[in-house]
Structure 1
């Protein structure tokens, strides 16, 4: 089994897609007005409109505010990334780049829908070894 993606459901697909394109520097593929994806070497961030459950034949699935998940991106240099996107994030920064006890330097912020996002860079040798097999772009 291989983890493939996380899908966010949103009331404003274009706003959320544009935010993630700017934050990650990755282009999104917009398949329909209701569905887009940002692909990374490890997994895909899928973004669907609130209509996507209905289109899939399950209109009773609804998006809800999630306060327990964190969407994480392994970045080459979290400090440089923060400098690049600080203006985009504005007041939605939860934690500026900070070295965590497990060896990752971490930037936490909220996307326009309030989802918690972590951009991180392994900085200790132990943390770097854990991620040595993963490609970063």
Structure 2
């Protein structure tokens, strides 16, 4: 068993992930979040969007999996030629597509050209049917 702690939650990435899952509209009790259709409130102590407190364990696992996927793609996608994040399994590919959309919101202007080349190359890899 590993003693490593997961990295602290990044507020902006967590908010974009929650918005991808429609948590401001479906799970948040804050009126500002529901009206704006975006995560507006977060806890100062850990940067976590307030709506995450309203999730059950299974919903939180789904959020964490999508958050981790988006973080990995943002950190490694486009910078490593071998990591294309293009699974041949449809369910996994859907998770990767959502993670790519979230990570796309965080790419700096100076990296946009390389990022767009990565996206075009990835889109050219059509998902295959699993054996």
The TM-score with structure 1 as length reference comes to 0.27
> In proportion to residue count, which structure has more strand?
1
Q: Which has the higher helix share?
A: 2
- TM-score by length of structure 2 reads 0.28
